[in-house]
Amino acid sequence: MSGPVFAAFYAIVRRIPAGKVATYGQIARMAGMPRCARTVGYALADCRDPAVPCHRVVDRFGGTKAVFDTLSPGTQRALLEAEGVPFRPDGTVDLAQCQWAPEAL
């Protein structure tokens, strides 16, 4: 499944700068589909474009997802840590410090 909806999500995710993260719900809201966080997840899990930094999207609690552990367990976390994204002791991203807040779409 792909098409214009997935393309809209990918366009937003491409804008997330290194060292920042966004949530699935945040991406859905930015795309004008506020109740479609799960669809964002499906889109990112289906994405094969290396220009889309899917690893920068986490759940609403800051949790990483195994679908992005493409090389081995912990790949998503390692990629985020390499960009300077801080994690809490419970293994979740510290959203208060690094959640992306774009100025304008």
The pLDDT assigned to 44 comes to: 94
Q: Are 45 and 38 in contact (CB under 8 A)?
A: no
pLDDT at site 105: 47
The active-site residue out of 36, 47, 54, 98 is: 54
Structure tokens at 60: 């609403």
Quick check: is 47 catalytic? no
Mean pLDDT, all residues of the chain: 92
* Placement of tokens 């966080």 in the chain: 37
User: Which of 17-26, 29-38, 61-70 has the lowest average pLDDT?
Assistant: 61-70
First-residue to last-residue Cα distance in the chain: 25
- Helices 4-13 & 37-46, crossing angle to 10 degrees? 90
* Residue with more model confidence, 6 or 73: 6
Strand partners, 57: 22
